[in-house]
Chain A
Amino acid sequence: MSRKKITVQGAGICGLWHALTLAKAGHAVTLIERSEKPFTDACSQYAGAMLSPFCEEEGTEPLNRDLGLRSLELWLETYPDTRVQGSLVIAQARDLRELDRFARVTEGHERVDGKRIADLEPELEGRYETGLYIAQEGHVSPHDALPFLLEAVRGAGADVHLGTDTIPDKSDLVIDCRGLAARDDLTKLRGVRGERAIIRTGEVTLNRQVRLLHPRFPLYVVPWSENRFMIGATQIESDETGPVTVRSALELLSTAYALHPAFGEAEILEFGAGARPAFPDNQPRIVVKNTHIHVNGLYRNGYLLAPALAELTARYIVSGETHPEVFC
Chain B
Amino acid sequence: MMLEFYGTEIGSRLLIGTALYPSPQILSDAVVASGSKLVTVSVRREAARARSGQGFWELIKQLDVHVLPNTAGCKTVKEAVTTAQMARELFETDWIKLEVIANDDTLQPEVFGLVEAARILNEDGFKVFPYMTEDLGVAEKLVGAGCEVLMPWGAPIGSGQGLANPSAMKTMRAYFPDIPLVVDAGIGAPSHAAFAMEMGYDAILLNTAIAKAGDPVKMGRAFSQAIEAGRLAYESGLMEPRDMASPSTPVAGTPFFNIDSA
Whether B22 contacts A60 by the Cβ 8 Å rule is yes
CB < 8 Å neighbour of A239 from B23, B52, B212? B52
A296 to chain B, nearest CB (A): 13
B160 (CB) vs chain A CBs: closest residue: A97
Whether B49 contacts A280 by the Cβ 8 Å rule is no
Q: Is B26 positioned at the interface, with any CB of A under 8 Å from its CB? A: yes
Which of B52, B54, B214 gathers the greatest number of chain A CB atoms within 10 Å? B52
Whether B25 contacts A280 by the Cβ 8 Å rule is yes
Whether A281 contacts B45 by the Cβ 8 Å rule is no
User: Per-residue 0/1 for B21-65: is the Cβ within 8 Å of any A Cβ (1 yes, 0 no)?
Assistant: 111111010000000000000000111010011111011000000
B62 (CB) vs chain A CBs: closest residue: A280
Q: Which chain A positions have C-beta within 8 A of B25?
A: 279-282
Range for the number of chain A residues in contact with chain B: 20 to 34
Whether B56 contacts A237 by the Cβ 8 Å rule is yes
B230 to chain A, nearest CB (A): 26
A235-292 residues at the B interface, CB under 8 angstroms: 236-240, 278-283
CB < 8 Å neighbour of A237 from B28, B47, B212? B47
CB < 8 Å neighbour of B55 from A101, A104, A189, A281? A189
Secondary structure class of chain A's binding surface, majority of residues = loop
- How far apart sit A178 and B126, CA to CA, in the bound complex (Å)? 43
Q: Which chain B positions have C-beta within 8 A of A283?
A: 23
Q: Is B158 positioned at the interface, with any CB of A under 8 Å from its CB? A: yes
Q: Which chain B positions have C-beta within 8 A of A281?
A: 23-26
Whether B53 contacts A237 by the Cβ 8 Å rule is yes
User: Per-residue 0/1 for B174-194: is the Cβ within 8 Å of any A Cβ (1 yes, 0 no)?
Assistant: 000000000000000000000
A237 (CB) vs chain B CBs: closest residue: B56
A246 to chain B, nearest CB (A): 13
CB < 8 Å neighbour of A105 from B21, B59, B214? B214
B214 (CB) vs chain A CBs: closest residue: A105
B187-235 residues at the A interface, CB under 8 angstroms: 208, 212, 214
Q: Is A294 positioned at the interface, with any CB of B under 8 Å from its CB? A: no
Q: Is A190 positioned at the interface, with any CB of B under 8 Å from its CB? A: yes
Q: Is A215 positioned at the interface, with any CB of B under 8 Å from its CB? A: yes
Contacts A60-B22, A105-B214, A238-B52 known; list 5 others, CB within 8 Å.
A190-B56, A191-B55, A236-B45, A280-B28, A282-B25
Residues on B facing A (Cβ under 8 Å)? 21-26, 28, 45-47, 49, 52-56, 58-59, 158, 208, 212, 214
30 A-B pairs whose Cβ atoms sit less than 8 Å apart in the complex: A58-B22, A60-B23, A101-B212, A104-B214, A105-B214, A189-B55, A190-B54, A190-B55, A190-B56, A215-B158, A236-B46, A236-B53, A237-B24, A237-B46, A237-B47, A237-B53, A237-B55, A238-B52, A238-B56, A239-B53, A239-B55, A278-B23, A280-B24, A280-B59, A281-B23, A281-B24, A281-B26, A282-B22, A282-B25, A283-B23
